[in-house]
Amino acid sequence: MAVRSALIHHLMSLTLTIHLLAVSGEFFKPFNVSYDHRALIIDGKRRMLISAGVHYPRATPEMWPGIIEKSKEGGADVIQSYVFWNGHEPTKGQYNFDGRYDLVKFIRLIGSSGLYLHLRIGPYVCAEWNFGGFPLWLRDVPGIEFRTDNAPFKEEMQRFVKKIVDLLRDEKLFCWQGGPVIMLQVENEYGNIESSYGKRGQEYIKWVANMALGLGAEVPWVMCQQKDAPSTIINSCNGYYCDGFKPNSPSKPIFWTENWDGWFTSWGERTPHRPVEDLAFSVARFFQREGSFQNYYMYFGGTNFGRTAGGPFYITSYDYDSPIDEYGLLREPKWGHLKDLHTALKLCEPALVSADSPQYIKLGPKQEAHVYHMNSQTDDPKLSELRSLRNCSAFLANIDEHKAVSVKFNGQTYKLPPWSVSILPDCQNVVFNTAKVAAQTSINVLEFYAPLSANMSLKLHAMDQNELSIIANSWMTVEEPIGIWSDTSFTAKGMLEQLNVTKDRSDYLWYLTRIHVSNDDITFWKESNVSPTVTIDSVRDVFRIFINGKIAGSAIGQWVKVVQPVQFLEGYNDLLLLSETVGLQNSGAFIEKDGAGIRGRIKLTGFKNGDIDLSESLWTYQVGLKGEFLNFYSLEENEKADWTELSVDAIPSTFTWYKAYFSLPDGTDPVSINLGSMGKGQAWVNGHHIGRYWTVVAPKDGCAKKCDYRGAYNSGKCTTNCGRPTQSWYHIPRLWLKESSNLLVLFEETGGNPREIVIKLYSTGVICAQVSESHYPPLRKLSTDYISDGEILSNRTNPEMFLHCDDGHVISSVDFASYGTPQGSCKKFSRGRCHTNNSLSVVSQACLGKNSCTVEVSNSAFGADPCHSIVKTLAVEARCSSTSNIHFAA
C-alpha cells in the first residue's frame, strides 16, 4: 500500500511538473549542451543519439504530429530539419512563418513529444529544393556572388541566419531555455565546392563560423562535409557510409549528419531503393567505430508541393525510400528493422558513453570486434555489482560481401552473415544482427474511392463501376492561349535570360519574333530539297518551338543544343519559343549564374542569302500562362474562366485547362490521385498546388529482379519501376480538402485524358513476415532499464512475430500461415515439406480483428514439433482493412 501511495504521489508530481512546464513554455527543464571528443554532452551526460530527418514544408501541419510520434516510436532521439529561406522570405523583407512554414509550431511539437531538434539553418540547403533554398530575389542584389567572400552575400546571409536564431531565442526554443533545440548547422556541404572559390572560399568559411558563433545561440554549431571547419565548429560526414570518418580535430566527436537511406528521383529515371539490411549495417558500423550522432536523411521525405522541387528534373514526390513514406505511413521492413537496431544500440549506450575509445580485436581476414568497457566507478552499489557482471558491450562485424563466417569471441562461437554486424550489449548475447530481418513487410494498396464531377452540387454515394465511369466523364475545359496573351508583355532587343524576366513567378516564358520569308527562299528550299532550321546554342529544361501557332519541335535537357528543322510560309511568320523550367539548379558552385532559358546565339539557317542571326533581334516576352495569372485554379476566381463541358469524344489537346469536383473520402487514410493518363503539367486542389506532374517513362532495363543487400550501396544498385512512369500517383493532403465540392484543376501541356483520372485512398493492405527459431527474442520488450532491473539477456523468451496495420485498420484476414519450412516470399508463400496443420488457426486466433498482434515462434505455441532437428520458420501473409469497412461476427 505504501508503495502504491508513493507511486501515485510520484505520478501526481510528474503531472504537475509537466503542466507547469507547458504553462511556462518549457518542454524540458533547462539544460546546457556541449561536447567532447566522444559525444554531445546533454545536461552533463554523454549521449548516443539517433536523429530523424524531417523537412516541415514537405508535409502539412496536420501531418507533423504523426510523423514526429512515429519517429519517436521508431527510436529517434532527435528530429533534424533544414530552414528554407525561400519559403520564409519569398520577397525581401516580407516573412512567411505560416502553414507549412510555421517553424515555431513544428519545433514546439517536437519539444512536446520529448524529442530534441538539430536545426540546419544553412541558409543554403541543397535538399533537391528549388534553387537550393535561396530566394530568387537574392541573385538580383547588386554585386552579389553566392557563398564566397562577398560583402553583399554575407550581409544578406547574416541577416537571415540572425533572424532565425533571434526567433528561436524569442520563442524560448533553445535547450537552455527549456526548448528542444540542442544543435545548429551553418552552411551545407561547402567543402564539395570550396576549391571553386579559391582563397575567397577559405576566408568565407572562417567568416561563417565567426558570424554564427557571434549570434549567441549558446549551442554547438555543425558544418557538414567541411574538412577545414574552424576549431569552434564540429565538422561532420554525409554519405552512405561514414564509419571511417574522422573529424579534423581529436577534440571533436564523430557526427553523421546525412545517412542517405534512399535517394531522390528524377523524371524519366528509375526509382532508387536502399535495402534495410545494408542501411542497418552502415549505422551499426558507425557506432561500432566510435560514432555518436547519426541522422537519417530522410526519415520522412514527403512531397515537393507546388514548384518547390529542385533540379532540374526532380519529381514531385520526395519519398526517398525513407522509413516513413511520403504519405506518413510506416515503410516496412525498413522502419521496424531500424527500430530494433535502435533498441539494441540503446542497450549499449551505457558502455558507449562510458568508454573513451573501444578495444579493437581482429577476428578474421574481414571480421573484427570493437568492445566498449564501462567505467566501473559509481556511487551506486547495485549498479556497480550489475556492471561487474556485464561490464562491456561489443560489436562483431563481418565485412565480407559474400561469405558467412563463424568467429570466436569471448570464449564463444558466433555466426556472422555476410556484410553484417551483430550487437552484444553484454558482450555475450546477440540481440540483433543487421542482416536478420524479423520486421514485417508491408505492401501498400490504393483503394478506389471517388470519381470526378463537373457538378459542384453532386453528392457522391456508393455506386457501381459503370455509374462511376459516367460521372468521371463530366469535366470542364478551357484552352490556354499559345503565345502572347496580355498587355503585361514587353518588347526588347536581344535574348534576355529567363530568370531575369520571370523572377521564378512561373515555369514558363514565351519569346516571339517575326520572320519575313521571300518567294526566293521558298523556291530555294524546294529546288535544293532543304529545310530552314532554327539553331540555338543551348537551352534548358524543356524548350518548345512554334511556327505560326503550331508546334514544330521540342528539346529536353540541361543546356542542350537545339537544331530544329521548320516550315515557313511566304511572307511574315511568327516564330514563337517557349522555355519551361522544371526546378531550378539546387547544387554546385555559382548556381546564381546558372540561369534558365537560352544561352548563346539563336539563328536561322538554310536561307538563300545565308544565315539569319536572331540574337539581337526584337523579341516580345510574355511571362507565364493566362490561366496561371488569372487564377483559374483558385476557388474564388475559377468561375470567371470560360469553361465549357469536355465532350466524350474530345481529342486530347495541348495547352488546356481542365477542372472537376470530388467529395471528401471517408475515414482518415491518405488521399492520392492518379494522373498517369495525363501528359505534362501542374495540378491544384482547392487552390493548393499539389505539384508538377509528368508521365515520362523510366528505362525498361536496369532493375534487378532481386536486390542483394551485400556490398557497398549506390543509388543505381537496387532500382525499381523500370518501364513505368516515374510518378503517376500524387499526394493530396487531407488538410486541403472540404466535405464536398473539392475543386481539382489541371493545366495540361502535351495532351492527356482526364476522364481516366481516379482518386484513391492509400493504406497498408498486405502484411507479411517470416521469423524462425534462430531469430533473436523480441527487442521491443527491452530497454536500457534492463541493467537497473537486473534482467539477464540470456533468460529472454522465444522469438516472436509482430504484425501491425495502420492506425484505424485491423487484420481482416490471414491468407497464409505455416509453421515449419515454408517457401517463397511475401505474396508468394507456399508450404514446405514440414508444416503444422493448425498454423492458420493459431495465427488467426491471435490476430484477427486486431490492429497488431504477436505470435510466439516456438513448438509450444503451435502445440507440436512438426519436424525434429530442423529449424522451424513461421511465415504469415495477412490483410489489413479499415475498421469502417469491415464487420466481424460476434
Instruction: Tell if the pTM clears 0.85, that is, is over it.
Output: yes
Q: Phi, psi (5° rounding) for residue 210?
A: -65, -40
Residue-wise pLDDT for 742-759, tens only, equals: 999 999 999 999 999 999
Give the helix ranges, DSSP H, for 171-216.
Answer: 198-213
The residues assigned a catalytic role are 189, 258
The pLDDT value recorded for residue 782 is 66
Give Cβ neighbours of residue 879 (< 8 Å, ≥ 6 apart). 765, 766, 767, 811, 812, 813, 814, 815
848 three-state secondary structure: coil
Which element (helix H / strand E) includes 386? Answer: helix 381-389
Residue 42: how many other CB atoms lie within 10 Å: 20
Return d(Cα 708, Cα 507) in angstroms, integer. 40
> Cell 529544361 sits at which residue?
541
> Cell 549506450 sits at which residue?
349
> Cell 542482416 sits at which residue?
435
Give Cβ neighbours of residue 360 (< 8 Å, ≥ 6 apart). 368, 369, 370
Assess contact for 116 and 293: CB atoms under 8 A: no
838 three-state secondary structure: coil
**Nearest to 131, CA basis, from 665, 576, 583, 505:** 583
Residue-wise pLDDT for 54-71, tens only, equals: 999 999 999 999 999 999
Write the secondary structure of 2-57 as one string of H (helix), E (strand) and C (coil).
Answer: HHHHHHHHHHHHHHHHHHHHHHHCCCCCCCCEEECCCCEEECCEEECEEEEEECHH
Assess contact for 738 and 664: CB atoms under 8 A: yes
According to DSSP, the β-strands at 234-239 and 254-260 are parallel
Return d(Cα 804, Cα 613) in angstroms, integer. 67
> Cell 524529442 sits at which residue?
115
Assess contact for 657 and 632: CB atoms under 8 A: yes
The pLDDT value recorded for residue 382 is 45
Q: For residue 381, say if its preceding peptide bond is cis, omega within 30 degrees of 0.
A: no
Return d(Cα 438, Cα 776) in angstroms, integer. 9
Confidence check: pLDDT of 664 > 70: yes
Q: For the chain, what's the residue count? A: 890
Return d(Cα 238, Cα 187) in angstroms, integer. 13
The pLDDT value recorded for residue 279 is 98
**Nearest to 236, CA basis, from 120, 365, 77:** 120
Confidence check: pLDDT of 303 > 90: yes
Assess contact for 200 and 148: CB atoms under 8 A: yes
> Cell 508468394 sits at which residue?
828
> In Å, how far are 175, 208, 820, 832, 876 from 867, measured between CA atoms?
58, 67, 7, 11, 19
As given in the structure block, the three cell numbers for residue 593 are 549564374
Could you give the dihedral angle defined by the CA atoms of residues 418, 424, 430 and 434, in that order, rounded to the nearest 10 degrees? -40
Which element (helix H / strand E) includes 785? Answer: helix 785-788
* 472 vs 856, residue with greater confidence: 856
The pLDDT value recorded for residue 665 is 86
Return d(Cα 154, Cα 150) in angstroms, integer. 6
Confidence check: pLDDT of 335 > 90: yes
Confidence check: pLDDT of 12 > 50: no
657 three-state secondary structure: strand
Residue-wise pLDDT for 240-253, tens only, equals: 999 999 999 999 99
Query: CA 90, 93, 94 angle in degrees (round to 5)?
Result: 55
Mean pLDDT of 302-316: 97
Please give the single-letter amino acid code of residue 646: L
The pLDDT value recorded for residue 25 is 66
Residue-wise pLDDT for 435-472, tens only, equals: 999 999 999 998 765 445 554 433 333 333 333 322 35
